[in-house]
Chain A
Amino acid sequence: MEIPGLNLLRSKDFTDKLIKGINEIIREINKPIKFMHVCGTHEHTISKYGLRTILPKEIEILSGPGCPVCICPAADIDKAVELGKRDDTIITTFGDMIRVPATNISLAELKAKGADIRIVYGPNDAVKIARENRDKEVIFFAIGFETTAPLIGYELQSKPPSNFSVICAHKLIPAALELLMSQSQLRIDGFISPGHVSTIIGMKPYEIFSRGYKIPNVISGFEPNDVLLSILMLLKQVRDKNYDTINEYSRVVKPEGNIVAQKVIDDVFHPISSPWRGIGRVYDGGLEIRDKYKEFDADKKFDITIEKSQDIPPGCSCHLVMVGKLYPFECRLFRKECNPLNPIGPCMVSLEGTCSIYYKYHSENNS
């Protein structure tokens, strides 16, 4: 069995050529460069293959807010916890989500106390549970970016049973990138943009960065040489001062994206100003369920208000790690009080979380 193109995408010969090219261009540019990716899977590739150790030291790759589990506000988890405390509810969500610390307790702890919390692989499983348990309210705690939103949208369009509802905590990536650009102290020289999200939204939403903010943008795949080629493509744009949005992941991402999925999102949701954990309120940074599907919106169906929530526990630096202002090993809790068995902040929980990835693959510093 052969994965197409894998020989090239993980080939050392090709890597060596890319690194040679990168070294040549960085010499021409002759100043330190900072690129940011906004996808947990990119961080995973970069760390798993040790790419930072073979890049020239002038290039810094920052890890942005690319883990949907990490940026989900504590208040939304608190909501799921409150609903989960009721005798007549079953809370369903993705695996990583149940371990994320919230203001008081996580869903995992609630489950240990006897609440019916179930891990599902997708919203279709949650709907199935709703059909099989008509005497219970089955609530799907929906997190994720543009990649998972169409799945939930499709379920709502397909007439789920009346005992099914959704806590909608979906976020939108381009809006968050724009917020990061406005934070002048970051001085990002280019974005390695997420291949998965782009599969849905296509290339157009990124054009504002190349045209408006004059910084380059490359939509990248997830093999080591995908990421290195994207870095080379970004560097060329920096050198030539010719800023564009380029699709390195063209074997998967179409320029227009997935139109069917876009229509589903548009039919079921509308963008709203939305809080991101550790980042704050992002204009048009989230999705809300439209009125025509409001009977499935858990926010409207149940009267739950969270008075006060705590996104970042004392001492935790996740809010700085998430926007690339701090490396995980610069946090004083990292590898000490905070580890994957006992995560204090959200970035230590998910396999896509920056702290969790650094714990697994990195030494104490970046060397």
Chain B
Amino acid sequence: MSNKKESSEIIRLAHGAGGVLQENLIDFITKNIAFKNVNDGIGIDELDDGATIPLENYDKEIVVTADGHTIFPLFFPGGDLGTLSVCGTVNDLLMMGAEPIALTSMIIIEEGFEFEKLGKIVDSMNRKAKEANIAIIAGDTKVMPRGTLNELIIATTGIGLKDKKIKILDNNIQVGDKIILTGSIGDHGTALMASREGLNISTELKSDISLLLEIYNAIKLEIDNNLIHAMKDPTRGGIATALNDWAHKSDISIWIDEKQVPIKKEVTAICDMLGLDPYNIASEGRALLAVDPEHSEDILKKIKATKIGKDAEIIGEVKIEKPKRVLLKTIVGGTRFVDMPLGEPIPRIC
């Protein structure tokens, strides 16, 4: 069929939007890599938030993540590209159960970009790095001719350290686990989309972008004791992508109770207006956790006591039937699938 050809020949924007197409793209790039891990650590095949390098004769392992950051507009309600690059990298380390130590930063700049704007973005990076108590230890810059990229791209590597015995992995979720979400969904993507579409209907809605360090510290004991089986920050593709990813990798089903899912009224309204599904929309300061059921209330209490986790809720649980599926009990009591989003969310036309 015609569309098969189209999707296999060229890379479209939707290939970067965290859905099935992105999986195809990643597979295309990674399938012929010769060596995919070190010392039997987590490698590229696991498609987790990062990789590990177990250190021989030592009970720790190094955790490494790589992240490219680009956003339009560069300055958005609640943050900018600098905030995004540090928060994104640090959060990826935290989601593997690692303590962040340092990051490297590569800044690619378009000819003609203003020093003043670059200054603001670098300031944000430095401020967030200080807040996360991590060093920026190496970097590189490139300037590209006008028109070869849009303003600015930042690429980072995050480096952290964790105990070998901590197993926080996408494929480690157990039947019976409770699913905790640390705050309202879709704030980041919706705030951006609303400002792009010129929907200046809400002055209060801003990106939820933040470091998840406070939450990590609050539940460090549970992390060390392997009571947290998986953690993930639902960025591109939203919680629909994150939960489907878990259901597939852990071969279980996840049952979500829609009325428990925290969502801001503004987000519901803007998504309704644009015909978008908030479950597919990115957050930049939220985490999903799959936790031991017996300790779930304790963990929730600790998360709720933090500033960024005060709206946390237990939104669902893990079951064995219908494996690899995410099911939703809707607000009116019906049941339906939550599917993996297929590509770039676009506002509906009719």
Residues of A bordering B, CB below 8 Å: 1-3, 6, 10, 12, 15-16, 19, 47-54, 68, 94-96, 99, 101, 105-106, 108-109, 112, 121, 144, 147-148, 196, 224-225, 228, 340-344, 351-352, 359-363
Contact = CB atoms under 8 A, between A and B. Distances in A.
A121 B114 CA distance: 34
Interface stretch (B6-14, B147-155, B211-219): B6-14
A10 B7 CA distance: 38
Given A224-B330, A340-B342, 12 more contacts: A12-B333, A49-B334, A49-B336, A51-B334, A53-B336, A101-B2, A112-B5, A224-B331, A224-B334, A342-B7, A343-B1, A352-B350
Interface in B240-261: 259
25 contacts: A1-B201, A1-B265, A12-B331, A12-B332, A15-B332, A19-B333, A49-B330, A49-B336, A50-B330, A50-B333, A51-B332, A52-B334, A54-B333, A101-B3, A105-B2, A106-B3, A109-B3, A224-B331, A224-B334, A341-B20, A341-B342, A360-B337, A360-B339, A361-B337, A362-B336
Contacts of B7: 341-342
Contacts of A54: 332-334
A163 B20 CA distance: 41
Given A121-B349, A147-B350, A53 B335 contact: yes
Given A1-B269, A101-B1, A363 B337 contact: yes
A343 B333 contact: no
B227 interface: no
A12 B333 CA distance: 7
Given A108-B3, A343-B3, A362 B350 contact: no
**Interface bracket on B:** 35 or more
User: Which one of A49, A144, A225, A362 has the greatest number of beta carbons of chain B within 10 Å?
Assistant: A49
A144 B275 CA distance: 18
Given A1-B266, A3-B269, A359-B339, A53 B334 contact: yes
Interface string B312-350: 000000000010010011111111110100100010111
B31 interface: no
Given A2-B265, A351-B348, A47 B3 contact: no
A342 B4 contact: yes
B259 to A, nearest CB: 7
A202 B74 CA distance: 47
User: Which one of B7, B21, B201 has the greatest number of beta carbons of chain A within 10 Å?
Assistant: B7
A172 to B, nearest CB: 16
Contacts of B269: 1-3
Contacts of B259: 12
B331 A49 contact: yes
B121 to A, nearest CB: 30
Contact of A344 (B1, B202, B328, B334): B1
A342 B322 CA distance: 25
Given A50-B330, A362-B337, A351 B3 contact: no
Contact of B333 (A15, A101, A108, A361): A15
A48 B336 contact: yes
A360 B1 CA distance: 21
Nearest to A360: B339
Contacts of B1: 101, 342-344
A351 B331 contact: no
A6 B325 CA distance: 30
B3 A341 contact: yes
Contacts of A362: 336-337
Contacts of B350: 68, 94, 144, 147-148, 196, 352
B29 to A, nearest CB: 18
Contacts of B202: 1
Contacts of A360: 337, 339
Nearest to A342: B4
B283 to A, nearest CB: 19
The 5 A-B pairs with the shortest beta carbon distances in the complex, nearest first, are A50-B334, A109-B2, A15-B332, A50-B336, A361-B336
Contacts of A105: 2
User: Which one of A228, A341, A359, A363 has the greatest number of beta carbons of chain B within 10 Å?
Assistant: A341
B45 interface: no
A67 B12 CA distance: 26
A109 B5 contact: yes
A335 to B, nearest CB: 11
Contacts of B329: 50
User: Which one of B5, B272, B328, B332 has the greatest number of beta carbons of chain A within 10 Å?
Assistant: B332
Nearest to B348: A351
Contacts of B335: 50, 53
Nearest to A47: B336
Contacts of A53: 334-336
B1 to A, nearest CB: 6
A201 B103 CA distance: 62
Given A12-B259, A50-B330, A112 B336 contact: no
B108 to A, nearest CB: 28
Given A109-B6, A342-B1, A351 B266 contact: no
Contacts of A361: 336-337, 339
Contacts of A16: 333
Contacts of A49: 330-332, 334, 336
A203 to B, nearest CB: 22
A329 to B, nearest CB: 12
A96 B266 CA distance: 27
Contacts of A147: 350
B322 A106 contact: no
Interface in B1-46: 1-7, 9-10, 20-21
A313 B20 CA distance: 25
B265 to A, nearest CB: 6
